[in-house]
Structure 1
Amino acid sequence: MTVYLSQLKAGGVIIREGGAARLVQGLTTYELARDAIARGRPLATILPEGGETVDVAEQAAKGALDVPMRHPEPARMYLCGTGLTHTGSASTRNSMHAKSETHVSDSMKMFQMGLEGGKPAKGAIGAQPEWFYKGPGTQAVATNDALISPAFALDGGEEPEIAGFYLIGPDGRPHRAGFALANEFSDHVTEKLNYLYLAHSKLRPAAFGPEMRLGDLPRHIEGRSRILRGDQVIFDKPFLSGEDNMSHTIANLEHHHFKYAPFRRAGDLHVHMFGTATLSFGSQIAPQAGDVFELFAPEFGQPLRNPLAVAADEGFVDVAAL
């Protein structure tokens, strides 16, 4: 039976097994993962008994659920990801950067590298994927909370993805706690200006949750990505994930992230987004403040819903000399 964990903003963990969910007070999912590492056991086997019966959908609707796991020190929580990892992900990206219909962009070249070498034999090292950094734990947004686009952004668009949550053990070994839905919110107009602006376009918040699925990632995931503007649905398309729909294995993407020693610092928490092939930007949709992004996949329980907001203009950032 699949087990799901949710973290309450006010404290406490919801454990859902099948349709039954119970709230256990006085702990966090981070503490549970740390305990599982210390005991050398799978997370699903050390979950506490008892608790009060709760309705996960009701908790989500009233905004009580946080992202599935947070580090108590936000600066030690890293939001990162890989792109061009899904078998349908190259066309939109190539259209951003190709100089002509016959030009093969760097995006398409990297995508081809993944097709040719992203799924090596178990234990072998395959092609290196594109990689990006989004920010620390302060940028992790819970379901129903706003995704805030900076005033200088040229776009604020969704990317429906699956994210893995990883806690680094005392010996520096990464441990995967589970997987959750993710909206890897990005500025695609800025990225289209020049591929070298990709890093700038990714420095945005990202939304996760509200339920973390324990165990392995299903090989085939089919969800829906929608954008609502008031009562109108302005975008509605399926998105696919899981290794059957990817040009890389999860193990290969994990290796190329955690091969860097600074990403294996004991006690740190990493949230890694695995990419997508579905973007409303590819359908010429320009989200506006007040629009609501909604992602759903049955394998991940409750949907992830976030309104779009735009921050006030902070103007020129004046650096003070000491």
Structure 2
Amino acid sequence: MLLSQIRLPDGSRAVAMREGEEARVVSGAASTLDLALAAIAAGRKLGDEIAARGLGETVDLAAALAEGRMLLPLDHPDPAHLHLTGTGLTHLGSASTRDSMHQKADPEDMTDSMKMFRMGLEGGKPRAGEAGVQPEWFYKGNGHAAVAPGAALTSPPFALDAGEEPEIAGLYVIGPDGRPFRLGFALANEFSDHVTERGNYLWLAHSKLRPASYGPEMLLGDLPQHVEGASRVLRDGKTVWEKPFLSGEGNMSHSLANLEHHHFKYELFRQPGDVHVHFFGTATLSFADGVTVQPGDEFEIACDAFGHALRNPLEQQAAGSEPVSVQAL
């Protein structure tokens, strides 16, 4: 079952549910958040809440995408209450890419990235009911940095790079009692600045404070053990780079439960009513293959299990590179 949010031709919001080729409006639901909170209040699964409400008219998701009416599959009316975060070095192929960016002078001396990756291999999948080793963690921003499918990703004026990261993201709502609820999973582009990160790995936090996109559809239920999709960079409608990306626990050094524990163990991230979008990491980057993207290029992340592909054009860097001046009161 796939869930999405769109604007109807009359401008109103709707939640659409899709099984197979047909998508239909969920009756009485203007947002995924309201739908999820109603399911929590009723003590039932999200799918059961949808079934209880019933489905209405059919909608054309392809047309919504083409016309710019596709919204993020989960958002919040107050962007400050949507948190974009992620974990890195979680996939079995991710260490070599990161390690090549952070090489030390002595090849016999493991980089901190490789040490972190090995910690995940050895302790990232604990037994049920136990906590494993904590992963690398980063903050990307709040709902102001969340870009709708089809909309442009824009780098800040001080950015040195504008690279895609094809990932799977978990989408969560915090219940009234502070308990996290996972609604499902979506394709995601964890847009980053890899040149800044390569300059010094302690600049990782700076490299992650960029826009990001996820969707267009959200997969309800469990994440498949093996996820295989394709990441592409298109220029003037032609593919200039393409590579498969793998995800799912079968391709990861950490279990999802361990990644979720180490995010939500902080009370700060268990505030009732908040929305969380957590990026689970990747091992595939066009940057690692020497590709330099340019304004006008389009990123495409596709996997059949997640419905429509996630596409975002790269926009010219935002204007203005003057230092920010703080005024004393």
Given the two structures, how large is their TM-score scaled by the length of structure 2?
Answer: 0.95
Letter in 2 for 1:68: P
Tell me what 2:88 maps to.
83
Q: Of 260, 263, 268, which aligns to 1:257?
A: 263
Confirm or deny that 1:62 pairs with 2:60. Answer: no
Deviations 1:133-185 (A, max 9, x none): 00010111111100010111000000000001110011110000110000000
Q: Give yes or no for the alignment of 1:319 onto 2:326.
A: yes
Secondary structure of the structure 1 residue equivalent to 2:160? coil
**Offset, 1:69:** 0.6
Counterparts of residues 139-288 of structure 1 (less than 5 Å): 139-288=145-294
User: How far, CA to CA, are the matches of 2:257 and 2:270 in structure 1?
Assistant: 16
Deviations along 1:242-299, one digit per CA (max 9) or x if unpaired, are 0000000000000000000110111111100000010011101111111100000011
CA distance in structure 2 between the aligned counterparts of 1:199 and 1:50, rounded to whole angstroms: 43
For 2:40, what is the secondary structure of its paired residue? helix
Provide the identity percentage: 62
1:314 shift after superposition: 4.2
Instruction: Return the letter of the residue paired with 1:20.
Output: E
Indicate which of 35, 45, 49 corresponds to 1:46.
49
> Of the candidates 298, 301, 311, which is equivalent to residue 304 of structure 2?
298
Distance 1:172 1:26 in 2: 23
* Partner SS for 2:203: helix
Amino acid at match of 1:118: G
Deviation of 1:50 (Å):
2.7
Q: TM-score, normalised by structure 1?
A: 0.97
Deviation of 1:103 after TM superposition, in Å, equals: 3.1
Q: Distance in 2 between matches of 1:20 and 1:233?
A: 29
Aligned to 1:98: 103
Name the residue aligned to 1:137: 143
1:74 aligns to 2:95 (yes or no): no
**For residues 58 and 175 of structure 1, do their structure 2 counterparts lie closer, same or farther at Cα, with a shift above 3 Å needed?**
same
Question: What is the Cα deviation at residue 26 of structure 1?
Answer: 5.1
Q: Does residue 110 of the first structure (1) align with residue 112 of the second (2)?
A: no
Mapped contact 2:29–2:35 kept (Cα < 8 A): no
Contact in 1 for aligned 2:120/2:133 (Cα 8 Å):
yes
| 5+ residue gaps, structure 2 | none
CA distance in 2, matches of 1:112, 1:255: 19
1:217 is matched by which residue type in structure 2? L
- Looking at structure 2, the residues matched to 260 and 190 of structure 1 have their Cα atoms a distance apart, in angstroms, of 28
Distance 1:196 1:56 in 2: 41
Q: Aligned letter for 1:274? A: F
CA RMSD of aligned residues (A): 1.1
SS at match of 1:321: coil
Letter aligned with residue 256 of structure 1: H
- Report the AA paired with residue 324 of structure 2: V
Distance (Å, rounded) in 1 between the aligned partners of 2:95 and 2:171: 26
| Partner deviation per Cα, 1:166-206 (whole Å, 9 max, x = no partner) | 10011110000110000000000000000100000000010
Partner of 2:23: 21
**Quick one: distance in 2 between partners of 1:283 and 1:132?**
24
Say if 1:54 and 1:256 are closer, same or farther in 2 by CA, change over 3 A.
Answer: same
